[in-house]
């Protein structure tokens, strides 16, 4: 089968990069390359942005119904390519194949469905007195997405941008780019008008930053680390373009005294370690009543040690490898910091699980008696590492939970819903989940503080890609 791994999708066609350059894509379970991609330069960005700019006037003038029909066609093709997406994600980021199907590929599907529903009910204009308020597409959008939830983030940007009537240039993560190439094949097969959707692979400095600073780009939507997000925002500032960001997290999980303790601990461990801990909203700081700390550690130890870690292609595997050598090294460094700073290593630790001799596998790790201010309590680890922290009372729990530069997500567990709601109201986070509810693709997702700005999912995301125009005297 012919692949487009060495090409970009620009102006409705698969094209070669202006300056030939390639990068190996590593399968993190084997540490070996499984394919190569082309990586772009500023010249490729110029070409893609020019195509998007040329396509914008006609696409912005399309009707809501025309854009709905296009999104429904994209969803139809996405469903036909579902297994291809799951396989790509499994190879490029090491996601266990069951997880790749049930979580990773599903996320893209679910967000397409949510965006379609959001667009069906969306009002692009309204009268306020004699003034007509109109919501119009912002223009050419640069979309920069991460490797940890590839389809989730691609769809959470591309779908609402198209729903709004914008044209886009997408740069998927160069670490996990193959799913983005499959998505681009889906867009081509769905008949997206030429220039409306463009995709370039490449590094952050060589492509992402050039997109962020490009004078013909009207908006940048970025998901990734807070460090990289700051660079994107500074680069975009010179042209005063809109910047929407979904960045890091260090999310607290408060186990209140009236929670179903064992269930709350077990599900908290599973939430922290799912996707091998590589989720920005993972509940990585577990707050437990001081008098039940050791009981919590015993339950968490058992839950962490129950995970099946290994070959992503096995249906039984629950945790795959970390995505890269760089990520593996970072997680090892932070586990070492937890040990050296005096946290109690309950299970796990440095190195690979004993039965594995290659691949970027980390050991599911639980630290107890973690004190606020420790490195593992402050820094986003992005691996299967849980920090358990004691609190004295609700006020203490809320203080510890909010004492972070991040504010993406927070979690509260209690059998008394009124109690959980009262604590949730005091937490400084963009999304607070009570008692482990199902993933809600219609709830706004995004952060307070250094976790970013703007909101994604369903109609919330469509708003981010629109400008407001007031036509005063329209109704006179």
Q: Which of 166, 280, 380, 456 is catalytic?
A: 280
CA distance linking residue 454 with residue 447, whole number of Å: 8
DSSP 443: S
Q: How many C-beta atoms lie closer than 10 Å to residue 43's C-beta? A: 12
Q: What are the residues whose beta carbons fall under 8 Å from the beta carbon of 160, sequence distance 6 or more?
A: 115, 118, 456, 461, 462, 464, 465
Q: Which of 166, 169, 130, 165 is nearest to 46 (CA)?
A: 169
Q: Which of 92, 113, 185, 246 is catalytic?
A: 246
CA 317 and chain centroid, separation: 22
Q: What are the residues whose beta carbons fall under 8 Å from the beta carbon of 136, sequence distance 6 or more?
A: 60, 124, 165, 466, 467, 469
Provide the token pair at 315: 């249906």
Provide the token pair at 275: 């996707």
Are residues 455 and 125 in contact, defined by beta-carbon separation less than 8 angstroms? no
Provide the token pair at 166: 């914008």
Residues listed for the chain: 476
CA distance linking residue 311 with residue 321, whole number of Å: 8
Q: For this structure, is 280 an active site residue? A: yes
Are residues 332 and 338 in contact, defined by beta-carbon separation less than 8 angstroms? no
Q: Which of 207, 145, 141 is nearest to 172 (CA)?
A: 145
Q: For this structure, is 246 an active site residue? A: yes
* DSSP state letters, 39-77: ---HHHHHHHHHHHHHHHHHHHTS-HHHHHHHHHHHHHH
Provide the token pair at 93: 């980021």
Residues marked active site are found at 246, 280
């Amino acid at each position: 089968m012919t692949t487009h791994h060495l090409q970009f999708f620009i102006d409705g066609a698969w094209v070669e990069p202006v300056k030939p350059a390639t990068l190996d894509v590593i399968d993190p379970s084997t540490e070996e390359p499984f394919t190569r991609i082309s990586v772009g330069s500023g010249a490729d960005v110029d070409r893609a942005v020019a195509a998007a700019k040329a396509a914008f006037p006609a696409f912005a003038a399309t009707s809501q119904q025309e854009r709905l029909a296009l999104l429904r066609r994209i969803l139809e093709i996405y469903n036909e390519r579902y297994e291809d997406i799951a396989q790509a994600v499994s190879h490029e980021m090491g996601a266990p194949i069951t997880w790749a199907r049930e979580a990773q590929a599903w996320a893209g599907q679910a967000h397409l469905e949510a965006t379609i529903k959001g667009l069906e009910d969306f009002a692009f204009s309204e009268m306020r007195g004699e003034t007509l308020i109109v919501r119009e597409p912002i223009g050419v959008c640069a979309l920069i997405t991460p490797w940890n939830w590839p389809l989730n983030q691609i769809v959470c940007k591309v779908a609402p941008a198209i729903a709004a009537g914008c044209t886009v240039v997408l740069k998927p993560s160069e670490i996990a780019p193959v799913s983005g190439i499959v998505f681009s094949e889906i867009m081509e097969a769905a008949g997206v008008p030429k220039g409306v959707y463009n995709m370039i692979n490449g590094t952050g400095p060589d492509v992402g930053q050039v997109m962020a600073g490009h004078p013909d780009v009207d908006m940048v939507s970025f998901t990734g680390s807070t460090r990289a997000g700051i660079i994107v925002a500074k680069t975009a500032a010179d042209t005063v373009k809109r910047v929407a960001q979904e960045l890091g997290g260090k999310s607290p999980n408060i186990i209140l005294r009236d929670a179903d303790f064992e269930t709350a601990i077990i599900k908290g461990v599973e939430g922290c370690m799912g996707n091998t801990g590589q989720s920005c909203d993972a509940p990585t700081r577990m707050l437990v009543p001081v008098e039940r700390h050791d009981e919590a550690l015993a339950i968490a130890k058992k839950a962490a040690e129950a995970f099946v870690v290994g070959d992503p292609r096995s249906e039984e595997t629950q945790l795959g490898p970390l995505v890269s050598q760089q990520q593996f090294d970072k997680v090892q460094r932070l586990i070492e910091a937890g040990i050296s700073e005096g946290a109690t290593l309950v299970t796990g630790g440095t190195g690979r699980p004993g039965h594995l001799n290659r691949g970027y596998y980390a050991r599911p790790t639980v630290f107890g008696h973690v004190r606020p201010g420790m490195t593992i309590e402050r820094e986003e680890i992005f691996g299967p590492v849980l920090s358990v922290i004691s609190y004295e009372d609700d006020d203490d729990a809320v203080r510890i939970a909010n004492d972070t530069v991040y504010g993406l997500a927070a979690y509260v567990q209690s059998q008394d819903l009124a109690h959980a709601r009262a604590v949730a109201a005091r937490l400084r986070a963009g999304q607070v989940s009570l008692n482990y509810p199902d993933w809600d693709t219609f709830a706004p997702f995004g952060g307070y503080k250094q976790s970013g700005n703007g909101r994604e999912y369903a109609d919330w995301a469509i708003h981010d890609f629109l400008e407001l125009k007031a036509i005063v005297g329209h109704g006179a």
